[in-house]
């Protein structure tokens, strides 16, 4: 798995499209993943968090990683659905920032 542009943070909410540098929408797929934030080599308090990870539509190339996400929804059912998606991240491979940059 490789990262485009060193895994630049995308702080936008979950989405099904992202904008390219020229402003055109690019299709992508996303999923919640557990991320081990070890970017600061000198920090003593590295941590794990759940964030949304967006992949290029045609490959496993990561195009963006969010900061820590929280469940969200317009209804209780949507909130519950988002929580289920987040819980599915537990069974996925943990992503390490140090290996993505």
Q: How deeply is 4 buried, as exposed, middle or buried, from its count of CB atoms within 10 A (0-12, 13-18, 19+)?
A: middle
Asked if residue 98 belongs to a domain, the reply is no
How much is the pTM?
A: 0.67
Asked if residue 84 belongs to a domain, the reply is yes
User: How does pLDDT run along the chain (101 residues), one tens digit per residue?
Assistant: 333 333 333 333 334 344 544 455 555 688 999 999 887 777 777 889 999 888 877 777 888 888 889 999 999 999 999 999 999 999 999 999 888 76
Domain count across the chain = 1
* Domain assignment of residue 10, given as a range: 4-93
Neighbours of 10 (CB within 10 A): 19
Query: What phi and psi values does residue 88 have, to the nearest 5 degrees?
Result: -70, -20
CA nearest 88: which of 36, 50, 48? Answer: 50
Asked if residue 35 belongs to a domain, the reply is yes
């Amino acid at each position: 798995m490789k990262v485009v542009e060193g895994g630049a943070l995308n702080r936008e909410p979950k989405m099904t499209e992202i904008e390219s540098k020229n402003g055109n929408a690019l299709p992508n797929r996303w999923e919640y993943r557990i991320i081990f934030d070890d970017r600061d080599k000198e920090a003593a308090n590295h941590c794990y968090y759940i964030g949304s990870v967006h992949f290029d539509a045609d490959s496993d190339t990561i195009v963006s990683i969010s900061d820590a996400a929280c469940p969200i929804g317009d209804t209780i059912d949507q909130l519950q659905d988002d929580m289920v998606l987040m819980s599915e991240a537990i069974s996925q491979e943990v992503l390490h920032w140090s290996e993505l940059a």
